[in-house]
Amino acid sequence: MSSSAQESAGGRLAGKIALVTGASRGIGKAVAKLFAREGAELILVARTTGGLEELDDEIRQINGKTSLLVPLDLREFEAIDRLGYALYERYGRLDVLVGNAGDLGTLAPVGHIEPAEFQRVMDINLTANWRLLRSLDPLLRQSEAGRAIFVSSSVGSQARPFWGTYSISKAALEMLVKVYAEEIKSTKIRANLIDPGRTRTGMRAAAYPGEDPMTLPTPEAIAEKFLPLASAEFDGNGQVIKAQ
């Protein structure tokens, strides 16, 4: 085992099982690598097998562990249900859920949005996260301190022209998580959201093609904000935490 792997064995997430969606790039990838350095055993979910395999190689260099790779389009809702059953049989619990995967859609006036695109963005940003909670809630309840963290955006609470589909999906996601947080107040689970703010990601570049990415915080810097919310000591619930 490498020296970095030895260090991660005693990290702040040592012994924890964490699932990260949208793990093959951007913030999801940075969170996965940070959690690996902190000793977590990882379940990595993304659409691209190649991206997952590359990340798995990087994580083995970090902590000496092989992650469970789950190539999955989150619009395959029945597959999310099956994932919950499979993880229960394999692990019996889940300590941390990071719902990071998202779809920007096309920035356009509300009246110009194609129905199929509206549905796709809602499916990924909202419905998939509900299906994940529905499928994985029983596993979070088996944890000594289950933690669910979802990625939101400032446009989920601030109306901005041409951001309709994405804004609506994030507003609904925030309400979903806040309702869930109310329902699990008497349990050991805590559910919160992170608003990462301006971050150097592919999604940001698509939304602001003329922006200099070097002026933005890196995904690695934003990932640091996820770590406290994954800890058993953090007792906040139903909050939207601003990373910047």
Catalytically active residues are: 166
**What CA–CA distance (Å, rounded) separates 97 from 115?**
30
For residue 67, the 8-state DSSP code is: P
Strand pairing partners for 41? Answer: 17
Instruction: Name residue, tokens 């007792």.
Output: 235
User: Would you say 83 and 91 are in contact if contact means Cβ atoms under 8 Å apart?
Assistant: no
Whether 72 contacts 83, CB under 8 Å: yes
CA distance 163 to 155: 8
Q: Tokens representing 65?
A: 């562990």
The answer to whether 119 and 43 have CB atoms below 8 angstroms apart is no
Please name the residues in contact with 238: beta carbons below 8 A apart, sequence gap of 6 or more: 177, 178, 181, 182, 191, 192
Widest CA span of the chain, in angstroms?
57
CA 77, distance to chain mean position in Å, is 17
b/e sequence 129-166, b meaning 16+ C-beta within 10 Å? bbbbbebbbebbeebebbbbbbbbbbbbeeeeeebbbb
